[in-house]
Amino acid sequence: MTTAHAPAAASPRPRLNIGQLTIDQLTFPEAITAIGELVDAHQGGYVFTANVDHVVLAETNTRFRDAYAKATISVVDGMPIVWASRMLDVSLPERIAGSDLILPLVKLGAERKWRIFLLGAGPGVAEKVGKQFQAQYPGIEVVGWDSPMVNLDAGDAQNDPIIARIREKDPHLLFVALGSPKQEVWISQVAQKLGPTVAIGIGAGFDFIAGTAKRAPEWIAKAGFEWLYRLTHEPKRLWRRYILNDSQFGIILLRELWKRTRGSQG
């Protein structure tokens, strides 16, 4: 069996430790290059994009934290973390949203004749996006799409048929749009069975491309207020996440600063 991923600790890239997560110090072009090299190595692996919610979730969700610990590449998807990193030991150069990675990777895949598989989102969304990719990026081979119901506690009985459909198509790159923390935990559960395929969690990326969800304008995202934009559009679904859960990020940051202050004094 091909090794599904290399240990994250083996990475030579500088990495920021914040809370329970570790994030690579990469610019956007460097992230595209690193993911391309990972795909072309045919050794498998997976890529996550860390935001404030992920930092908070990792404090209490053991499966989520363990999934991140094994990620081959972890980039920053959240301006608050970029800003916080400037006060910590490794400064992160810029925000790299999972949704922003999709089209550049598809373009790169078209140049390198990659096969890609789209997993997740609502019924028909991945298919719509796949057909759009094929029309816009000659050279890319969209070998399949699937929108399965995923239960993280279902085990092999659920996962093996999904993985069998993916492995049958032998994709170079697997985009997974199941939302967090489900997509990260699920990817880590099946990584060893994906063989040389590289998986990347992209959240609502398919919905943004298909037009079934509206994304915040770029200036709002760069200002660090994408969370507020999303909250105003989906208050019932997101109020607990953004108002209650993510408020804990400030406490985690203060803890990190205190730890570093103690270390410098010791």
Residue 250 confidence class, pLDDT cut points 50, 70, 90:
confident
pLDDT in the model for residue 248: 85
Alpha-carbon torsion, ordered 246, 251, 253, 257, to 10 deg: 180
H helical segments located in 93-181: 98-112, 125-136, 156-169
Is 168 a residue whose pLDDT tops 70? yes
Domain extents in the chain: 15-210, 218-264
| pLDDT tens, position by position, 5-28 | 444 444 578 999 999 999 999 999
Q: Could you tell me if 99 and 78 are in contact, meaning their C-beta atoms sit under 8 angstroms apart?
A: no
**Side chain identity, residue 151:** N
